[in-house]
Amino acid sequence: MKILFLDQSGKPGGAELCLIDIAKPYRDRALVGLFADGPFKTLLQQHHIPVEVFATEAIAVRKQSNLLQALASLGQLAPLLAKVVQTAKEYDVIYANTQKALVIGALASFLARRPLVYHLHDILSREHFSQTNLRIAVTLANRFASLVIANSQASQIAFVQAGGRAELTEIVYNGFEVKNYQTSESDISHLQQQLGLQGKFVVGHFSRLAPWKGQHILIAALAQCPPEVTVILVGDALFGEQDYVQQLHQQVAAMGLENRVKFLGFRTDIPQLMAACDLVAHTSTSPEPFGRVIVEAMLCGRPVVAAKAGGAMELVENEINGFLVTPGESQELAQVINTCLQQTEITATIASNARAIASQRFDVTVINQQIANLLTHLFKY
């Protein structure tokens, strides 16, 4: 099956990292079309997945666009659409991986007469998107998609609540190459030494710096933990959230935590860094659609505490394979950090349970087989 994957981003967010694993089995006959240049293109090339940048200008539709702004941006999309339609004629399926890719993919699917698959990585709710963007996404998916793959039950439910047709949807979780998360003791001690983390209780946060990812909640929690607790913030502002980055630095300074919080920026050695942590924290203040970092922490054998909302609740069962806390509640988070600091044996058992469960449940070969079955099914009728 020849697949034309479409993704709006040149930057490697979770949806893009997931797409690498999905596109890989099809790489001999697939193409990933991006709407922006950037490091994601390089990553695809490193994985030998054919990639082409269809547009080099950033497309101006934002998560909170109103109808007028959305219509105005349609004009800019004409050359991009023409390119996608022409390319799509050489492929069997169009696979849209993001919302702007859905807009172009839907129109291209109609014009080039190719079926459309929409991989939904978002919770389509007013907490995350404007009413206009929700309406556009749901209307286009309902009218043009043959299949909507939701990355969690939470994303699937939100799609239906926003007016999406339930019968189009299937839930497929992200898959992971389990062996990539096995690290050696020497990797870990090397990193700990390099980052000055020896003898500390390290809480890691792995996410782009964005207000709803809630790094500020972890910093507030840290102020309520003993001095040996240190935080590493791994990730960068991928989508222009510079004000938030500044706020985080100000918060750290105001709380006198400069020696206990390290900003490491965007990194590509996530498994090693996670393994160098004693606990991984996920602190999203809005419901997380899936939450790759939660699964990754489990695969690294590290205990994870996650904000109890959205997809995270499908990944973590409290005190069985991790911990759940109320989103936005720094005090509750501090309590879990302190429990992990004191009760190391119970915490290690929970982390080891999590690793065993996650290695089976999110194995990329199993997940890719689910996607292959769904795609084959598209052509049965």
Q: How far is the CB of 342 from ligand UDP (least distance, A)?
A: 28
Span near ligand GLC by CB under 6 A; candidates 53-61, 200-208, 212-220, 287-295: 287-295
Closest to ligand GLC by CB, 255 vs 374, is 374
Q: How far is the CB of 175 from ligand GLC (least distance, A)?
A: 10
- CA distances, 357 to each of 76, 325, 333, 353 (Å): 47, 21, 24, 6
174 binds ligand GLC (CB under 6 A): yes
For the record, the structure tokens of 34 come out as 């991006």
Give me the sign of the Cα torsion angle 22, 24, 25, 29.
Answer: positive
The contact mask relative to ligand UDP for 217-256 (x = CB under 6 A, - = no) is: -----------------xx---------------------
Give me the sign of the Cα torsion angle 308, 327, 161, 81.
Answer: negative
Residue 151 binds which of ligand GLC, ligand UDP, none (CB < 5-8 A, kind-dependent) = ligand GLC
Tabulate helix, strand, coil % of the chain (nearest 5): 50, 15, 35
Q: Which of 3, 6, 15, 30 binds ligand GLC (CB under 6 A)?
A: 15
Residue 301 binds which of ligand UDP, ligand GLC, none (CB < 5-8 A, kind-dependent) = none
338 near 357, Cβ under 8 Å?
A: no
327 near 375, Cβ under 8 Å?
A: no
Closest to ligand GLC by CB, 121 vs 216, is 121
14 binds ligand GLC (CB under 6 A): yes
What DSSP assignment string belongs to 16-71? HHHHHHHHGGGTTT-EEEESS-SHHHHHHHHTT--EEES--SPP---TT--HHHHH
One-letter amino acid of 228: E
Span near ligand UDP by CB under 6 A; candidates 93-101, 242-250, 287-295, 355-363: 287-295
Q: Which of 10, 14, 303, 327 binds ligand UDP (CB under 6 A)?
A: 14
Residue 377: what are its φ and ψ, rounded to 5°? Answer: -60, -35
Triad 184, 187, 192: Cα angle to 5°: 130
Q: How far is the CB of 306 from ligand GLC (least distance, A)?
A: 11
For the record, the structure tokens of 333 come out as 């988070």
The contact mask relative to ligand UDP for 290-329 (x = CB under 6 A, - = no) is: xxxx--x---------------------------------
Q: How far is the CB of 281 from ligand GLC (least distance, A)?
A: 15
Span near ligand GLC by CB under 6 A; candidates 12-20, 76-84, 159-167, 225-233: 12-20
Residue 231: strand, helix, or coil: strand
Span near ligand GLC by CB under 6 A; candidates 14-22, 195-203, 256-264, 336-344: 14-22
378 binds ligand UDP (CB under 6 A): no
One-letter amino acid of 348: A
287 binds ligand GLC (CB under 6 A): no
DSSP H helix total and E strand total for the chain:
16, 13
Q: How far is the CB of 311 from ligand UDP (least distance, A)?
A: 9
Closest to ligand GLC by CB, 175 vs 301, is 175
- CA distances, 236 to each of 130, 166, 209, 210, 278 (Å): 24, 35, 5, 9, 22
164 binds ligand GLC (CB under 6 A): no
Q: How far is the CB of 242 from ligand UDP (least distance, A)?
A: 17
Beta partners for residue 33, in sequence order:
6, 52
Closest CA to 105 of 179, 205, 5, 221: 5
Q: Which of 34, 150, 231, 270 binds ligand UDP (CB under 6 A)?
A: 270
Count other C-beta atoms under 10 Å from residue 351's C-beta: 23
Q: Which of 204, 235, 289, 303 binds ligand GLC (CB under 6 A)?
A: 289
**Binding region for ligand GLC (CB under 6 A):** 13-15, 18, 121, 151, 174, 288-292
Residues at the interface with ligand UDP (CB under 6 A): 13-15, 17, 206-208, 234-235, 266-267, 270, 290-293, 296
